[in-house]
Amino acid sequence: MKTFNYHVPKNVKEASKLASTSSAFLAGGMTSVPSMKLGLATYKDIIDIKHIKKLSGIKVSGKTVTIGATTKHAEVANSRDVKKAIPSLTKLAGGIGDAQVRNRGTVGGSIANNDPSACYPSACMALNAIIHTNNRKIEASKFFKGMFETALKKGELIEAVEFQIPVKSNYQKHPNPASRYAIVGVYLAKHKKEVNVAVTGAKSSVYIDKDLSKALSSSFSSSAIDGMKLDSSEMNSDIHASGDFRASLVVTYAKKAVEAC
Amino acid sequence: MSKVTLEVNGKKVSKDVPNHTILSDFLRDNLNLTGTHVGCDTSQCGACVVHVDGKSIKSCSTLAADVDGSKVTTIEGLVKDGKMHPMQEAFKKMHGLQCGFCTPGMVMSAIDLLQNKKNPSDAEIRKWLEGNICRCTGYQNIVAAVKEAASKV
């Protein structure tokens, strides 16, 4: 690994000031450290944000669950408050990677990286999340721009993610057997006015499947989407699953999610 | 360079190391604690699991500078007054190891499991140990060892 300057800012302002085009914020490091070790990423400055207290913690209000950027997956998975408000979110957090990854990895890190097969982006999309940064609030639908791309600008730091509490929700994942990332993950959320079916792992970036969402908005039952054929032309295809298989998995797991609601 | 000060197995240590030093290298190369193994070096296999402030983590994917000021426990820190930890005893009794390469990580991970859950089921043990790979495929006896330890702790 190439060396770097290591900074431990005490507050968001200081962290943001240190940022440049060749820097990275370090939270849990569960993606960034292995990427640097493999030489896939090199930075001049690493800005460790874990000591900024205001970035960590969970707040549940009547309508929303707000999770600080550096809150670890294990904290979300074990939170009684989150489980009461959005049980599917604790399930999602408890299924990321393995126990040791969940002890380090963070929600902010996961969504800032926007890995096409990460779990959290699907929760953000399905639960109409608002991403709070040090400069602005960004709707999830405008945050995830494409493979490993987000709307974040240089020096912009995620402070918290605010999830809307749905009426019902469920997350179903077809995990890679070795790493447990989502080959396909389906986050289903039934809100008062609409149903969102967010899909991760299937395409180059997380997306809302409009056909499934529409069908389930008119009739919230697995029979409403039974046998539905999705367009697989933009689906990822690799040794783990072909595009056609992924398209089929999306429907299968959406059905499972409806049945588990 | 970063000055990294840790309490490792109850002893305070302080070293100046390059900023990019990985915790597993810090333990093995700087402190000569070679009980922490490095298998895959990509955070898949779990041979490198140690405890930082009481929680199991993968030391091959953690910067030493990142855990500055923490308490670290490695496999070497489990023996008390010349006696093995109950988890180590259980691995020995139930033949929970074959070649032994994955064992330090398995033991450290399993101890963290029992901190979270006192009497885990077979399924819960297997789920928790997803991040620890045994290439000898000795999982049956590893699970049996964790159950044995759970009955003793």
Nearest CA in chain B to A6: B19
- Chain centroid to CA B144: 18
- Work out the number of other CB atoms within 10 angstroms of the CB of residue A65: 23
The answer to whether residues A157 and A245 belong to one domain is no
Section B6-27 average pLDDT: 98
Kindly determine whether residue A4 and residue B63, on different chains, have CB atoms separated by under 8 Å: no
The answer to whether residues A255 and A186 belong to one domain is yes
- For strand A130-133 and strand A137-139, is the pairing parallel, antiparallel, or unpaired? antiparallel
- Confidence class for position A179, pLDDT limits 50, 70, 90: confident
Q: Is residue A3 included in any domain, yes or no? A: no
CATH number of the domain to which A220 belongs? 3.30.390.50
Which run of H or E residues covers position A47?
strand A45-48
- Chain centroid to CA A204: 14
Position A231: which residue type? D
Angle at A215 between CA A212 and CA A219, to 5 degrees: 130
Is the CA virtual torsion B14, B17, B20, B23 positive or negative? negative
Nearest CA in chain A to B68: A8
Residue after which a domain boundary falls, among A106, A131, A164: A164
3-state secondary structure labels for all residues of A229-255: CCCCCCCCCCCCCCHHHHHHHHHHHHH
Per residue in A6-18, pLDDT (tens digit) is 999 999 999 999 9
d(CA A245, CA A83): 32
The answer to whether residues A153 and A173 belong to one domain is no
- Choose the mutation target among B23, B45, B66, B109 for the interface with A, i.e. most A CBs under 10 Å: B66
The answer to whether residues A101 and A146 belong to one domain is yes
**Residue in the block written with tokens 């640097």:** A36
Angle B103-116/B86-93 helices, nearest 10 degrees?
Answer: 120
CA dist list (Å): A13 to A49, A101, A223: 11, 28, 51
> Above 90 in pLDDT, residue A255?
yes
Task: For residue B62, list chain A residues with Cβ-Cβ distance below 8 A.
Answer: 29, 33, 104
The answer to whether residues A174 and A158 belong to one domain is no
Task: For residue A72, list chain B residues with Cβ-Cβ distance below 8 A.
Answer: none
Residue after which a domain boundary falls, among A144, A164, A184: A164
Kindly determine whether residue A37 and residue B66, on different chains, have CB atoms separated by under 8 Å: no
Structural domains of chain B, with CATH: 2-77 (3.10.20.30), 86-152 (1.10.150.120)
DSSP category for residue A46: E
- Choose the mutation target among B41, B63, B106, B125 for the interface with A, i.e. most A CBs under 10 Å: B63
Kindly determine whether residue A100 and residue B113, on different chains, have CB atoms separated by under 8 Å: no
The answer to whether residues A194 and A251 belong to one domain is yes
> Above 80 in pLDDT, residue B153?
no
A52 neighbors A69 (Cβ within 8 angstroms)? no
A205 neighbors A149 (Cβ within 8 angstroms)? yes
Nearest to B130 by CA among A91, A95, A78: A95
* Structure tokens given for A147: 């493979």
* Structure tokens given for B149: 């330890």
Q: Is residue A184 included in any domain, yes or no? A: yes
Q: Is residue A21 included in any domain, yes or no? A: no
Per residue in A134-156, pLDDT (tens digit) is 999 999 999 999 999 999 999 99
Q: CB distance from A22 to chain B under 8 Å?
A: no
**Mean pLDDT score of chain A, rounded to an integer?**
97
Its domain, for residue A235, covers: 168-260
What's the number of domains chain A is made of? Answer: 2
> Above 90 in pLDDT, residue A178?
no
Task: For residue B19, list chain A residues with Cβ-Cβ distance below 8 A.
Answer: 3-6, 46
d(CA A64, CA B108): 37
Is the CA virtual torsion B81, B87, B92, B93 positive or negative? positive
CATH number of the domain to which A120 belongs? 3.30.465.10
Section B136-142 average pLDDT: 96
Per residue in B90-122, pLDDT (tens digit) is 999 999 999 999 999 999 999 999 999 999 999
Q: CB distance from A100 to chain B under 8 Å?
A: yes
The answer to whether residues A78 and A159 belong to one domain is yes
d(CA A22, CA A29): 17
Q: What pLDDT score was predicted for residue A217? A: 97
Q: Is residue A60 included in any domain, yes or no? A: yes
d(CA B107, CA B129): 10
Distance from CA of B34 to the nearest CA of A (A): 20
Kindly report which listed range (A175-179, A183-187, B55-59) carries the lowest average pLDDT score.
A175-179
**What global pTM score does this model have?**
0.96
d(CA B151, CA B149): 5
* Structure tokens given for B90: 């259980």
Angle B86-93/B139-152 helices, nearest 10 degrees?
Answer: 140
Residue after which a domain boundary falls, among A139, A164, A189: A164
Section B65-86 average pLDDT: 97
* Structure tokens given for B83: 């006696």
The answer to whether residues A248 and A194 belong to one domain is yes
* Structure tokens given for B153: 């702790």
Enumerate helices (H) and strands (E) in chain B, giving the number of each.
5, 5
- Confidence class for position A59, pLDDT limits 50, 70, 90: very high
d(CA B31, CA B33): 5
Kindly determine whether residue B128 and residue A29, on different chains, have CB atoms separated by under 8 Å: no
Per residue in A95-142, pLDDT (tens digit) is 999 999 999 999 999 999 999 999 999 999 999 999 999 999 999 999
A195 neighbors A213 (Cβ within 8 angstroms)? yes
Kindly determine whether residue B46 and residue A98, on different chains, have CB atoms separated by under 8 Å: yes
Q: Is residue A99 included in any domain, yes or no? A: yes
